[in-house]
Amino acid sequence: MRKTQASAAGLAGPAGGSRPAPARARPPLKLRLRRAVSRFGGPVFAGVVIALLYGPIIVLAAFSFNNSIVFSLPWAGFTTKWYSVAFGDANLRAALINSIWVAAIVAPVSVVLGTLSAFPITRFHFKLRGAAAMLVAAPLVIPWLVIAVSGQLYFHFLGVDLSQVTVLLMQIVVTFPLVTVLVAARLARFDRTQEEAAVDLGASQLQVLRYVLLPHLMPALAAGFILAFSWSFNNFEISYFVSGFNQLFPVWVYSTLRHATNLPEVNAIATLVSGAEVALVYLAWLFFTWRSGARTAREKADALLEAVR
């Protein structure tokens, strides 16, 4: 009798005679892994990508302030003298001026040629359309080293002396296909009924180009200009093989890195160049974000005025 009462009391539990709730079963391992990946996978992936992209630049910038020519820890002390040394180097100043001058010509020419080549590839239908697109895109897949050596042999065969003009020609050859790809992708997503509507309303072809097509292509043109400028400025293979005695910035960096004592100077100027390029991209992004927001606000205001009328 006592055993029966004890067992009944044990089943009833200490709190008012109700049984304790059964323990919740753990979800399967596969489901727990999926939840963990969906929760932490995105931030971890973003962190790895950012570390791979910007980690070397951050390390390079950090050692540009190290008061030592040795690229290792611990630091010998904080200093900014390497920036003064870099700006005091006449060869570096000449190389920067040459590279900026070349890139300032290559970028707009590449934008014009890339846009002109993107229109027939995306708008016109002809027999050799695929072959033409393949030829335009070939410099994007052929190694630049092969193109540079071929260009050097070609100019030597023609008896043309290597100079900044030859650098301009070869860099345009390898750069304008990038703009073609960007503009062609933008054109492929464009609704051509907007052009037809503008023509039906009496717009000329020039007005259609100015007020309909160009606003739609402007982000691609800006991206093409920035990338073309950056590619031209940083192109080592073309600059090394077809520049002749005109030293450009990538060639100066290569020749300077052959001497360990000049490494901090390269770190300093590379930090400034990288910062300028990142700032250029960021300013372009801010401009187009502001422009898109202003256009959206203007469209909302026009819609409100139409509703009031």
How many domains does one find in the chain?
1
Residue-wise pLDDT tens for the chain (309 aa)?
Answer: 444 454 544 445 554 555 555 556 677 777 777 777 777 777 788 888 888 888 888 888 888 888 777 766 777 778 888 888 888 888 888 889 999 999 999 999 999 999 988 888 887 777 877 888 888 888 888 888 999 999 999 998 998 888 888 999 999 999 999 999 998 888 888 777 777 777 777 777 787 777 778 888 888 888 899 999 998 998 898 988 998 777 888 988 888 877 766 778 888 888 888 888 888 888 877 877 776 665 665 554 555 445 545
Residue 51 in any domain: the answer is no
Residue 243 in any domain: the answer is yes
- At residue 23, the pLDDT reads 55
Residue 241 in any domain: the answer is yes
pTM over 0.85: no
- At residue 308, the pLDDT reads 47
Residue 9 in any domain: the answer is no
Q: Which residues partner with 78 through β-bridges? A: 66
Residue 245 in any domain: the answer is yes
Residue 207 in any domain: the answer is yes
Residue 192 in any domain: the answer is yes
Residue 109 in any domain: the answer is yes
Q: Report the b/e string of 219-242 with b at 16+ CB within 10 A.
A: bbbbbbbbbbbbbbbbbbbbbbbb
Separation between Cα atoms, residue 243 and residue 238, nearest integer Å: 7
Residue pair 66/76 in contact (Cβ under 8 Å)? The answer is yes
> How many Cα atoms within 13 Å fall on the side-chain side of residue 274?
16
User: In terms of residue numbers, what domain contains 97?
Assistant: 89-274
- At residue 228, the pLDDT reads 92
- At residue 70, the pLDDT reads 72
**Any idea what the CATH number is for the domain that residue 239 is in?**
1.10.3720.10
- At residue 243, the pLDDT reads 84
Separation between Cα atoms, residue 272 and residue 194, nearest integer Å: 44
